[in-house]
Structure 1
Amino acid sequence: MERNLAKAAQYLGITRPKLIDLMREKGLLNERNLPAYPTRDREYLRIKDGQWWHPELGMQYSQSTRVKQAGLPWLAEQLGLEMPEIPATPDRRDVA
């Protein structure tokens, strides 16, 4: 599961602008809010390429940062944030 920066920030209990500021301070994002080191951090962050057709301007392209599931605890550690407790899911095999 991947999250955009807004959902990752919500999960970490901060706002998207605050997350971006913290990630830029640590050198994790560049000025376009894309991973500064996409190869080094590929286990945690990725660039999502998007495209759409605009009736007057033609094909439009965009890029955005996605945080992978393994990237959430890594990001919290990098930024000095507390990870929220994830409730344990009961194992369905444990039956009477």
Structure 2
Amino acid sequence: MRKIAISIMFASVVAAPLAAQAAPNCTAEAKDKWMSEDAMKAKVATLGYERIKTFKVSGNCYEIYGYTKDGKKAEVYFNPVNGDVVKSEIGD
């Protein structure tokens, strides 16, 4: 039983930093300073991202899952205050 408890504790210590790395740190500004979701969606479209499957708040970022204008899968994190790309992963 003690080995199980130690294993669970070790797993949670290792997993916590990995989960924290999932979303980047996009802004320290309060949410009342953020662009509206509609304004951000419009900016996302002007940046060439299409067929957005998911648009959500992820930590202190706006995050999308969609496609580039070239048809590549895109996971992109945006600064919600100015709409700048903070992190992007573009696939095939």
With normalisation by structure 1, the TM-score equals 0.28
- The answer to which structure has the higher strand fraction is 2
Higher RCO (CA < 8 A, seq sep 6+): 1
- The answer to which structure has the higher helix fraction is 2
